[in-house]
Amino acid sequence: MHAYRVCAMAVAGALALAGCGGEGAGGQNAGAQPAAAPEAAAGPEPVATGDLRCPAPVREGLPGPDIIGLRLGMTADEALATARCALGADAEVSTANRWLDRLDTHGVELGPQTFTVRKGEHRPCDFRREWQECEGGLKWLHVDEVVTVATPGAPGAETAHLIRRAQHFREGAMPPVQALLDALVAKYGEPQWTEESDKPRGHSAGHRRLEWVRDHAGNPMATANPLFHRCRGAVNAHPDATGAKWSDGCGLSIQAWIALSGRNPGLAMEVGTAMLHQGSLYAHVEAMQDELRRLGQARREAEVQATEASDVRL
């Protein structure tokens, strides 16, 4: 069994106000012919707000569960539009052109490999007194929600393969822990692994962690399966977590994290969810590396041919 690991998901990058068109080449496979424009999924009448059109135009038939409408396999444009519709047109968007560790790009310039959409309360930063707390010219007073999506891929094939969501509830707006647990089970089914801790940490009185581990066929993986402990823990849903790992012998992995309020352990102060399909991501990264190698070789050969055609004087 082969495995990959990414140690960090960089979220730094220039502020982006990308459009929300559902069409484009973002979902075609490496080396494939340009795909036909996807059909918009049926739903409520679209509402336009500035450059944002909601609900976001997304192809029909994308399989698997979702996180606030985000599904694995979406093109980068589909995923960004969906996330912005969920968090609002005024949410901050940042992108980064690097996500995979030790990736050889063969000199090919990559498009955005990950994006983050964040909403909350912020104000302009005073760089003279609080430069260490500044992020993109803003000082965040409270972050309500953050969605991060990894969209690795060669140019034109950027695809959503990891989805994270973190919610930070304010006093007076914290939901009951049991209601969250019930909602998670109703959405994703019975988890294959759970963890309960009542050990205080910071402002939290403990946490609850649930994990869903599937095989390649989409069936729940039994703990007796020799692959279970290798496949478990592919993503950490803690709001501060950034890493991920994946193996070609594993399927869908979902994790949820609930932080209990220190003032009332029956209420949740933070909730995190994360999802990836390990086998699909493994195959996608392999295909991406092959395509980058092909593009790099084609570029080098074109440069040599251009040089040979020039007039050389000695």
Taking only the tens place, the pLDDT of each residue in 201-218 is 999 999 999 999 999 889
Residue ending a domain, among 168, 183, 199, is: 168
Count the domains in the chain.
Answer: 2
Residue ending a domain, among 168, 190, 219, is: 168
Secondary structure element (H or E) that encloses residue 118, with its range = strand 114-124
Note whether 16 and 164 are same-domain residues.
Answer: yes
Return the higher-pLDDT residue of 307 and 232: 232
Note whether 141 and 268 are same-domain residues.
Answer: no
Q: Tell whether the model's pLDDT for residue 288 goes beyond 50.
A: yes
Q: Tell whether the model's pLDDT for residue 66 goes beyond 60.
A: yes
Note whether 78 and 201 are same-domain residues.
Answer: no
Note whether 85 and 206 are same-domain residues.
Answer: no
Residue 236, classed as helix, strand or coil, is coil
* pLDDT one-digit tens code per residue, 74-101: 999 999 999 999 999 999 999 999 999 8
Note whether 179 and 164 are same-domain residues.
Answer: no
Residue 4, in any domain of the structure = no
Query: Domain residues for 226?
Result: 175-305
Note whether 223 and 275 are same-domain residues.
Answer: yes
Q: Tell whether the model's pLDDT for residue 16 goes beyond 60.
A: no
Exposed (0-12), middle (13-18) or buried (19+): which is 235, by Cβ within 10 Å?
buried
Residue 32, in any domain of the structure = no
- 278-295: average pLDDT: 96
Note whether 17 and 151 are same-domain residues.
Answer: yes
Residue 34, in any domain of the structure = no
**First CA to last CA distance, the chain:** 55
Residue 310, in any domain of the structure = no
Note whether 142 and 234 are same-domain residues.
Answer: no
Exposed (0-12), middle (13-18) or buried (19+): which is 278, by Cβ within 10 Å?
buried
> Residue 169 has which token pair?
């509830």
Residue 131, in any domain of the structure = yes
> Residue 8 has which token pair?
């960090």
Note whether 213 and 133 are same-domain residues.
Answer: no
Note whether 294 and 153 are same-domain residues.
Answer: no
Note whether 214 and 147 are same-domain residues.
Answer: no
Residue 27, in any domain of the structure = no
Residue 278, in any domain of the structure = yes
> Residue 51 has which token pair?
């450059």
* pLDDT one-digit tens code per residue, 267-286: 999 999 999 999 999 999 99
Distance, CA of 48 to CA of 274 (rounded, Å): 29
pLDDT > 90 in the chain, percent: 68
Residue 220, classed as helix, strand or coil, is strand
pLDDT at residue 58, rounded to an integer: 94
Note whether 125 and 200 are same-domain residues.
Answer: no
Residue 95, in any domain of the structure = yes
Residue ending a domain, among 126, 143, 168, is: 168
Strand order in the sheet with 162-168: 92-96, 114-124, 138-150, 162-168, 268-277, 252-261, 204-213, 193-197
